Structure formats: C-alpha cells, structure tokens
Amino acid sequence: MIILGIEAAAKVAGAAVYRDGQIVAEQMVNGTLTHSETLMPMVDAVLKAANMQPKELDAIALTAGPGSFTGLRIGAATAKGLALGLNIPLIPICTLEGLAANMGPTDHLIVPMMDARRNQVYTAIYDYEKGEVMAPEAMAPADLAVKLQELGRPVVVLGDGSALYVEKLRELSHVPVVLAPAHLRHASAGTVAALGAKKYEQGQSISGSQLELNYLRKPQAEREREERLAREHQG
C-alpha cells in the first residue's frame, strides 16, 4: 500500500510518501513562501525521493480542517486534482486528529491547539488509548481551561496555538500542562500519511468529488460582513 500525505492546514506545508508500513520520503516547509508555491514541488520531490511514479499511489491522505481557509483550499485543490487525474481515492484527516497522532503512548490527555485568531483556538481532546474525549471545536482558551480542570488529568498541548496559550492554560486549569517538544508540535505530512493508511485499510476513503472541508467556523470575511449588517440593523 502506498499513500501520499499532504499537509497544508496551517503555516507548515508538507508532503510525504508512506509505503508498506513506513515513511519513505517526507518534506516540509515552515517559512514565508505560500503553500501554492511550495506544495506541488514538495509532492514532486517526495515522489522522486521515493523513486516512484504518481500512478503507483493507492490513495492520497490530506488534512481537511480545521485550519487556514487559504491553506485548506490549496491542499484540497492539489489533492483533488491528483486523485481525480489518477482515479484514486482521498482520505480526509481531521487536522486536530493528525496533530494528536504525533504523540506516542502517554497517560496525559493530548490537546492539539491551532491558533484561530480573535482569541480562539481550534482544539479537541484525545486520550491515547481511548481516542476522542472532546470533539473538535473553536473556543476561547479560557473555556478550554475550564474543560481541562473538569477532566482533572495532566495534559500535553501541541499545535501552533499551544505556545501562545500554554501559560494561560496552566494558570486557569490548575492541572499539569506540558508543552510538546518543538519537533512534535506541528502537523506532519508523514503522520497524515500513516494515519491515512490506517483509515484506508478500514475503508474510510472517498472520491475526490466527495471531499468537504471542515472549517469549524465561517471565514473571517463572512463573519465581518454579518457583524456589519447586524450593526446596521441595530442602528
């Protein structure tokens, strides 16, 4: 089984090839170039590094949200174009689940946090053995702290919002909160590919035309428009 993994949901963009139980090639960029500039060249590079042709792929796994609206659309367009052209399925991966899968066995609750701006994070809570404890949601860090205090267990946080709000969580939740190491803190195309392989074996794949992104909340432009209309109505 050969899976191409694509990650473009946040600042990090990446591509990886998973073949027969291992990651055989991976490339990532966490820089100033846009995903539209970096993603397809990385896909080409990892396929060449793995000495593979696109036609050998069985499926493509990609992060399908939440995350950056622009990044998600670029990742989706890239994955859909390849999948439809090669006539292979897609495997959508929740970005937060992909982040949580970076962590190895732990008795801590795993809490991915993506910066959603406007003093919110995209987050969820996972138990390594039991899976999802709290479904993905956009919420204020203070509200997340309340939930963590209710659960009363040590926590490890990761994602691009974790360093921003780890001190607030420690202050408000009154449970031990550990910041994941830098090399595990960001989404990995290799992790996405490996998780995709597992889901592919379980029959959790779709056609390119069926792909729907999960933004968790409306785009900023749409929210601002609604707020403006509400103010005008009140006036």
- Residue 109's contacts (CB-CB under 8 Å, 6 or more residues apart) are 125, 126, 127, 133, 148, 151, 153, 154, 155, 156
Looking at residue 42, its pLDDT comes to: 96
pLDDT in tens, the chain (235 residues): 999 999 999 888 999 999 999 999 999 998 766 888 899 999 999 999 999 999 999 999 999 999 999 999 999 999 999 999 999 999 999 999 999 999 999 999 999 999 999 999 999 999 999 999 999 999 999 999 999 999 999 999 999 999 999 999 999 999 999 999 999 999 899 999 999 999 999 999 999 999 999 999 865 545 455 555 556 666 6
Under the phi-then-psi rule, with left for phi > 0, alpha for psi from -120 to 50, and beta for the rest, what region is 111? beta
Range 164-179 burial, b when 16+ CB lie within 10 A, else e: ebbeebbebbebebbb
Q: Which strands make up the sheet holding 90-93, listed edge to edge?
A: 22-29, 13-19, 2-7, 59-63, 90-93
Looking at residue 229, its pLDDT comes to: 55
Whether 187 and 9 have beta carbons less than 8 Å apart is answered as: yes
Q: Record the pTM.
A: 0.90
Looking at residue 125, its pLDDT comes to: 98
Give the C-alpha separation, 171 to 182, whole Å. Answer: 22
Q: What are residue 85's DSSP bridge partners?
A: none
How many C-beta atoms surround the C-beta of residue 101 within 10 A? 21
Looking at residue 235, its pLDDT comes to: 60
Give the C-alpha separation, 188 to 182, whole Å. Answer: 12
Q: Which domains does the chain have, with CATH numbers?
A: 2-95+187-224 (3.30.420.40), 103-184 (3.30.420.40)
Looking at residue 4, its pLDDT comes to: 98
